[in-house]
Copies of this chain bind each other. A is one copy, B any other.
Amino acid sequence: MTVKVGVNGFGTIGRRVALAVTLQKDMRLVGVVKRTPDYSALYAQSKGINLYTPTLKDAEAFDKRGIKVAGTLEDLLNKVDVVVDSTPEGQGAKNKQSYDEAGVRQVFQGGEKPDVAEASFSTLCNYESVKGASSLRVVSCNTTGLLRLICSLNKEFGVKSVRAVLVRRGADPKEVKKGPIDAIVLNPPSLPSHHAIDVKTVLPWLDIKTAAVAVPTTFMHLHHVTLKLSRNATRGEVLEVLSQSPRIMLVSSSDTGIKSTAQLVDAARMVRMRYDIPELVVFEESVAVDGNEVMLFQAVHQESIVVPENIDAVRAVTQSQLGLEETVKITDSSLGLNKRLW
Contact = CB atoms under 8 A, between A and B. Distances in A.
Interface of A: 15, 36, 38-40, 42-43, 46, 65, 173-176, 181-182, 216, 219, 255-260, 262-263, 265-267, 269-271, 273-275, 341-342
A266 B15 contact: no
- Give the oligomeric copy count: 2
Contacts of A258: 38-39
Contacts of A266: 39, 173-174
Contact of A174 (B38, B256, B262): B262
A176 B36 contact: no
Nearest to A265: B173
A251 B41 CA distance: 15
Contact of A39 (B65, B275, B341): B341
Nearest 3 interchain pairs by C-beta: A38-B257, A174-B266, A46-B342
A79 to B, nearest CB: 25
B176 A262 contact: yes
Contacts of A259: 176
A189 B255 CA distance: 41
Contact of A36 (B175, B257, B342): B257
Contacts of A182: 181-182
Given A40-B270, A181-B182, 12 more contacts: A40-B267, A42-B256, A43-B267, A43-B341, A46-B271, A46-B342, A173-B262, A174-B265, A176-B259, A176-B260, A216-B216, A269-B273
